[in-house]
């Protein structure tokens, strides 16, 4: 019974530390514009999984002010539709998310 309680206590604690580490990593971005917004997109395509992180400036509609903060691609050959490439794509998607 004590081991069940310990597991119930440790799991949320472990998740808290894991999430805290990921949240603090977001503040290492070098933003270029004042009053900007940061957007992320993940795409699963034929060759793999891609992620882009963009900073959109306040006047982006007028002058196209954007800054590519990060572009990442994980080539998994998703188009071959095999079990291995499906799991590789799923793992890449989860890691990028």
Give the integer Cα–Cα distance in Å for 67 and 28: 15
E strand or H helix at 61: helix 60-63
State the pLDDT at residue 4: 57
Are the C-beta atoms of residues 48 and 92 closer than 8 Å to each other?
Answer: yes
Give 43's strand partners. Answer: 50
> Tens-digit pLDDT profile for the chain (97 aa)?
455 544 555 545 444 444 444 444 455 777 777 778 888 999 999 999 999 998 888 877 777 778 888 899 999 998 998 999 999 999 999 998 8
What one-character-per-residue DSSP string does 66-80 give?
EEEEEEEEEE--GGG
pLDDT of the residue at 13: 43
Q: Domain-by-domain residue ranges, the chain?
A: 2-96
pLDDT at 34: 76
d(CA 89, CA 84): 9
């Amino acid at each position: 019974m004590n081991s069940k309680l310990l597991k119930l206590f440790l799991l949320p604690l472990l998740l808290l530390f894991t999430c805290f580490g990921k949240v603090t990593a977001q503040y290492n971005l070098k933003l270029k514009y004042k009053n900007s917004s940061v957007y992320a997109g993940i795409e699963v395509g034929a060759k793999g999984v891609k992620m882009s992180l963009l900073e959109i400036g306040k006047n982006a509609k007028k002058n196209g002010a954007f800054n590519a903060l990060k572009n990442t691609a994980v080539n998994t050959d998703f188009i071959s539709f095999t079990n291995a490439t499906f799991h590789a794509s799923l793992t890449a998607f989860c890691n990028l998310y």
